[in-house]
Chain A
Amino acid sequence: MSDAAIIFEQVRAPMLGGDSCLEMDLRIPSGEWVACVGPSRAGKSLMVELAAGLVVPESGRVIVLGQDWREVPDDEPESVRLRVGVVLQQPGLLSNMTLFNNVLLPLRYHRGSIPDRRREHMVMSQLERLGLTSLRDRFPAELNQGEARRGAIARALMLEPDLLLLDDPVAGLDADTVVKLTTYVDEWRARRSLTVLAALRDWSPFVEAADRLVVLHEGRVAADGTRDTVVELVPAPLRRYVDKPQESCRMER
């Protein structure tokens, strides 16, 4: 069995609009935290959707946790799908359920044997760590973007996945909350092996915390490696995506 959590094997997939393609050959080892950065229309969201099995590549293969998505049925009880937590740009919280019930849903659906009390305790402890306890009875329409996104991340982690895919997880969050969220994900990784692939639009503590950065530009990998390596490798116009704002300004001067 491969020790890679995600393998993009000579993948080629058309980007929205169909005028350009994402092309990549990438391997993400288990337990690694990878931040994928780059400008808009670079293919970051498509990369997450390919890894989540939402998009089938035109050519090549996407192998996640040892399985090609094309061979994975969606709803089998032991499907690899349950080992992958995904949060897309739109959090997708069910609008007819409270935040609490949204986070509880995966447990209720897939872990029916866990007693109610224990399940509720599990949900409440996650909401607490994300600062969402007071919002537990609110419906998604009553939450702001950042709260909904944090709720969706808590829901994605409820089944204790081996792989977490995040598309723009820090959009709409204030600086303090981004740090809290980064710490939250880091704590999860400390407790159990969790691979994280996060697509990000700008530099943030999320980028800083990553083990590895992949810089995408116009559907191609422009640089790949640790932050220090990437800062040196990446072309000047893309430097602001991998460096703290003040540092990149200083370097450009």
Chain B
Amino acid sequence: MITWVGRKTIAGWTYLAALAALFAQALLDLLMPPRQGRGETFRVLIKQILFTGVDALPVTTVMALLLGIIIVTQAGTQLPRLGAGALVGSIIVVTVIRELGPLVTAFIVVGRSGSAIATELGNMSVTREIVALRLMGIAVGRFVVMPRMVGMVLSMLCLTIYFDVVAVFGGYLVADAQLTIPLDAFAGSVVRALSTTDVLMTVLKGLGFGSAVAAVCCYHGLAVRSSYTEVPQQTTRAMINSFVLCLLFDVVVTVPLYL
């Protein structure tokens, strides 16, 4: 039993170290890009931003609106019974901007783009496209991994902020229609409840979740060796591990805030 726990612990740390190394290498490639291949790498980055960020806008809009509507409906009907009807703004700031916004956005990105990246890189490994790039003197880290990671982190950050704004707007729609709270009162309540910490938290989580998901998905995609059956296996692992890492990161940054 102790041996099993020890082995699993070592494997867990080794895995985290490998992810950190992949992320560090991507950061290095971003900060110190060589002269060659800049245009091509930039093209890959733009494609990734379009796919992860722009193409995800419709689904993000729908989910954010629905989440905002649900939260304000619940808060707007429950809080007045406790004599805390004025806390609707506070509730939406704490639940959406601080917590659910970044987390739900991360889950959308994992489901759409994370799985796509793991599958794409896995297939590239099987069809030896990755080897072919290496043989052409094209660094896989610089041409394949870095633009996908940077694209995903930037997209995640922007989508998180967008999600927060749309969810608050969704909340306002309910506040206006069902609770008859006018726009200026609702907006004032949200602005009063919003602090710099909330904004920093949402930005930090957007960046952290984006980095974690990108590193995990690239790692598992490149872990595919020679068989197509490995591709779905690694993709599933990538998605599960992305969810777990996002929640772990969330705990690490949220809990100290309340200690």
Which stretch, A75-83, A215-223, A236-244, touches the partner chain B?
A: A75-83
The answer to whether B129 has its CB under 8 Å from any CB of chain A is yes
Complex interface: chain A residues within 8 A of B134 (CB): 54, 74
Contact B36 A81 (CB under 8 A): no
Nearest Cβ in chain A — how far from B215, in angstroms?
A: 20
A75 to B139, CA, bound (A): 5
The answer to whether A108 has its CB under 8 Å from any CB of chain B is yes
**Out of B37, B39, B129, which one reaches A95, CB within 8 Å?**
B129
Given contacts A112-B36, A112-B38, A159-B136, 14 further A-B contacts (CB under 8 A): A54-B134, A54-B135, A77-B36, A81-B135, A82-B137, A92-B135, A93-B129, A93-B132, A94-B133, A106-B136, A108-B40, A109-B36, A109-B137, A109-B138
A55 to B153, CA, bound (A): 35
The answer to whether A105 has its CB under 8 Å from any CB of chain B is yes
Q: For the side of the interface on B, what is the size category?
A: 20 to 34
Nearest Cβ in chain A — how far from B117, in angstroms?
A: 12
Nearest residue (CB) in A for B136 is: A106
Contact A110 B37 (CB under 8 A): yes
Contact A75 B137 (CB under 8 A): yes
Q: Give chain B's interface residues, CB within 8 Å of chain A.
A: 34-40, 120, 123-124, 127-129, 131-139, 142-143
Known: A77-B34, A92-B132. A110 touches B137 (CB 8 A): yes
Contact A109 B37 (CB under 8 A): yes
Contact B37 A112 (CB under 8 A): yes
A93 to B133, CA, bound (A): 9
Nearest residue (CB) in A for B135 is: A86
Known: A105-B40, A109-B36, A112-B36. A74 touches B128 (CB 8 A): no
How many residues of A are counted as interface, with CB atoms below 8 angstroms from the partner's CB atoms?
A: 27
Between B35, B40, B143, the greatest number of chain A beta carbons within 10 A of the residue's beta carbon is seen for B40
Please name the 6 residue pairs, one residue from A and one from B, whose CB atoms are nearest each other, closest first: A92-B132, A75-B139, A81-B137, A109-B37, A86-B135, A90-B128
Between A75, A79, A96, A108, the greatest number of chain B beta carbons within 10 A of the residue's beta carbon is seen for A75
Nearest residue (CB) in B for A75 is: B139
Between A81, A82, A109, the greatest number of chain B beta carbons within 10 A of the residue's beta carbon is seen for A109
Contact A74 B137 (CB under 8 A): yes
Please report which residues of chain A, range 123-148, place their CB below 8 angstroms from some CB of chain B when the two chains form the complex.
none
Contact B136 A90 (CB under 8 A): no
The answer to whether A153 has its CB under 8 Å from any CB of chain B is no
The answer to whether A61 has its CB under 8 Å from any CB of chain B is no
A94 to B139, CA, bound (A): 15
A92 to B37, CA, bound (A): 19
Contact A77 B35 (CB under 8 A): yes
The answer to whether A52 has its CB under 8 Å from any CB of chain B is yes
**Out of A75, A79, A88, A109, which one reaches B132, CB within 8 Å?**
A88
The answer to whether A149 has its CB under 8 Å from any CB of chain B is no
Nearest residue (CB) in A for B38 is: A112
Nearest residue (CB) in A for B132 is: A92
28 CB contacts below 8 A, A to B, read A52-B135, A54-B131, A74-B134, A75-B34, A75-B137, A75-B138, A75-B139, A77-B34, A81-B135, A90-B127, A91-B132, A92-B127, A92-B131, A92-B135, A93-B129, A93-B132, A94-B124, A95-B123, A95-B124, A105-B138, A106-B136, A106-B137, A108-B37, A108-B40, A109-B36, A109-B143, A110-B37, A110-B137
The answer to whether A150 has its CB under 8 Å from any CB of chain B is no
